[in-house]
Amino acid sequence: MPFAPDEVRWGLACGVGADGHWHGWFDVQVDSDALRRLGLHPDQPAARVTGPSPPGWWHAAAERDARRSRGGNR
């Protein structure tokens, strides 16, 4: 692994959703200096938006699908 043990942190939250099924969420954090060693930093070209945003219908569909997969009507 390209990271030292103290450069990566993760957590897991879980609970029962409105649909009665268990759901889990992972949170992964990597120190910015560790990412810089790999060439990942805010100054690289891929870190900036280089084109137009997807159309509104695309965002709406993604949100609708996310709600469906979580089992809620938020």
Sketch the domain layout of the chain as residue ranges: 1-48
Residue pair 23/39 in contact by the 8 Å Cβ criterion: no
pLDDT for 10-52, tens place per residue?
Answer: 999 999 988 999 999 889 998 988 888 887 876 777 666 778 8
Residue for token digits 């959703």?
17
Can you tell me the distance from the alpha carbon of 47 to that of 40, in angstroms, rounded to the nearest whole number?
A: 8
In sequence order, which residues have a C-beta less than 8 Å from that of residue 10 and are 6 or more positions away?
Answer: 26, 27, 28, 29
pTM of the model: 0.46
In sequence order, which residues have a C-beta less than 8 Å from that of residue 21 and are 6 or more positions away?
Answer: 71
